[in-house]
Structure 1
Amino acid sequence: MAERRATQVGLWVCSGSATVAEIVAASGCDWLLIDGEHSPIGLESTLAILQAVGAYPAVPVVRVPFGDTVLIKQFLDLGAQNLMVPMVHTAADAERAVAAMHYPPRGVRGVGSALARSARWNRVEGYLANASEHVSLTVQVESAEAAENAAEILAVDGVDAVFIGPSDLAASMGLLGQQTHADVVRHVTDTISASNAAGKPVGVNAFNNEQAQQYIDAGADFVAVGADVQLLAGSTAALAEKFGAYNTKG
């Protein structure tokens, strides 16, 4: 049996700050998730963040707000090579996302390489012919429907990886805020197993350390274990509480 590769540990970048993103990139984590769905991160700030983290070995993954063909084109033209598309519930959703990632005849990506950082403004020789070799698509399985359709989604040519979102998965099951519920965990582990069987990398979001380890043990290839804003909120509150307690002692 081939030896399983080590799980890749990732951190979210949600603040919108290129400086914070650079600090996170320098942490030693394997990958960054630059979040354009639930954060104040648009095209311009994504560009600044990509420029800031480019000097570090951590691999940036950009999550687009939703699987829109135009938005995907714009983020690719910025130079984002690894895109994550949220709320992919069916194989048809996955096929649309794949088409948006690639130039014709494989897909429908609009051609603007002379204007785009992705091609270094047409300074990358053979960019149009070879662009598909330099991009990857991760689709998010984050609903009960998607979990049920995981095998079909994984079978779509051009889906390079899946990323499971337990929070939205729980919500879709009527279990809002209950990511550790046994039924939610079962859907997550079943999707991990389906991905392993399909030979495609699978990731999961797990800010709870024990649950992250559970999913790693279940076969997850990459796990997001924290976010810049979450870590800052927690550490600053803890520090304020610590010294606030001292101050009350007189």
Structure 2
Amino acid sequence: MSFRDKLLAGEVLIGTFVKTPSPHVVEILGLAGLDFAVIDQEHAPIGLAEMDMMAMAGRAVGLPLLSRRWGKGTDWIAPLMDLGMTGVMVPHVLDPEGAEAVCDAVRFARLKRGLSPSPRAGDYGGMSIPSYREKSDAESVVMVQIEDECALAHLDAIAAIKDVDLVFIGPADLSQSMGVGFPSPELDDAIMTIVEACKHAGCAVGLFVGDAAAIPAWVERGVGVFVCGSDQALLRKGAAGIMAAR
């Protein structure tokens, strides 16, 4: 069962951000049993060459990897999908036009993504073009992030797009855009507005949390996918715990 199958089936899935450009980190997180990880090219210095090695490590341990990176365009998506990434998480999607552009960059069936089975994702030419197209479209994951107050007016239209697999809530940026605290009742209300819109559209919804203890309460509210902290936060917390025991 692919990661996308699990997501669409409504399973509770937990991952983390990876901010360190190291395949070893990806390997360790996979061996730890995480459901997925998001390589955070938006807030960490991780280039295409590092992504190549990290994608290889993810495939070796069966850890689905998505990429998140900066930029208003979508030309960065196809090279990462060619590396064998499971999908993308695109920040600051403001409207349905932006979401449609992301879907165009991921799904071959939309007839706009460049096609070649020669990279890793096509088993280096081992897959036929029809098989490659079918497998990629069936398993690739499109996550769009809602992080801006102006995007709240377009929730229904974004969540209704068939090729959007998940709407992911970025609470820190959303609170900043709204001019409210993180956390705050106003932010929680906005999050629930997004959750309800996704429920109505039958679209999965995800959320960043800094602490795994927050997950059960959000599951009860309808959130099914979580990115919890990051590899660096896990390392820092573990090291701080060692020193606290001195």
Gaps of 5+ in 2: 1-8
Q: Are 1:142 and 2:147 an aligned pair?
A: yes
Aligned partner of 1:81 among 74, 82, 86 = 86
Q: Which has the larger radius of gyration?
A: 1
1:202 aligns with 2:205: yes
User: Bigger shift: 29-38 or 165-174?
Assistant: 29-38
Query: Residue 60 of structure 2 corresponds to which residue in structure 1?
Result: 55
2:108 matched to 1:113? no
Query: Shift of the alpha carbon at 1:57?
Result: 4.2
CA pair 118-64 structure 1, distance change in 2 beyond 3 A? farther
**In the alignment, structure 1 residue 214 sits paired with structure 2 residue 213:** no
TM-score (norm 2): 0.87
Shift, 1:99, TM fit: 1.2
RMSD: 2.0
Unaligned runs of 5+ in 1: 244-250
Shift of residue 219 of structure 1? 0.7
**1:164 paired residue among 145, 169, 186:** 169
Q: Which moved more, 1:76-85 or 1:66-75?
A: 66-75
- Quick check: 1:44 aligned with 2:49? yes
Which structure exhibits the higher relative contact order, with contacts defined as CA atoms closer than 8 Å and separated by 6 or more residues?
2
Q: Please point out which of 95, 107, 113 is paired with 1:90.
A: 95
The CA distance in 1 between the partners of 2:187 and 2:212, in whole Å, is: 17
Any conservation in 2 of the 1:64–1:72 contact (CA below 8 Å)? no
The verdict on how the C-alpha distance between 1:73 and 1:6 changes in structure 2, with shifts beyond 3 A counting, is: closer
CA shift for structure 1 position 56: 3.0
Give 1:24's match in structure 2, choosing from 12, 29, 46: 29
Q: Residue 222 of structure 1 aligns to which amino acid in structure 2?
A: V
Give the length in aligned residue pairs: 236
Cα offset, 1:242, TM superposition: 3.6
Determine whether 1:154 maps to 2:159: yes
| 1:187 alignment partner AA | A
- Aligned to 1:183, which of 182, 186, 200? 186
SS of the counterpart of 1:108? coil
Task: Give matches, 1:95-106, under 5 Å.
Answer: 95-103=100-108, 106=110
Partner of 1:248: none
Q: State the one-letter code of the partner of 1:208.
A: D
User: How far apart in 1 are the matches of 2:104 and 2:10?
Assistant: 30
Counterpart position of 1:246: none
1:141 Cα shift?
1.0
One-letter code aligned to 2:182: Q
User: 2:117 touches 2:126 (CA, 8 Å); kept in 1?
Assistant: no
Q: Which residue of 2 aligns with 1:238?
A: 241
Q: Residue by residue, what CA displacement relative to the aligned partner does 1:88-128 show, whole Å, maximum 9, x if unpaired?
A: 0111110111111134x7242123433x2221232112245
- Could you tell me which residue of structure 2 aligns to residue 70 of structure 1? 75
Q: Please give the alpha-carbon distance, in whole angstroms, between the structure 2 residues aligned to 1:72 and 1:147.
A: 25
Between Structure 1 and Structure 2, the one with more helix by share is 2
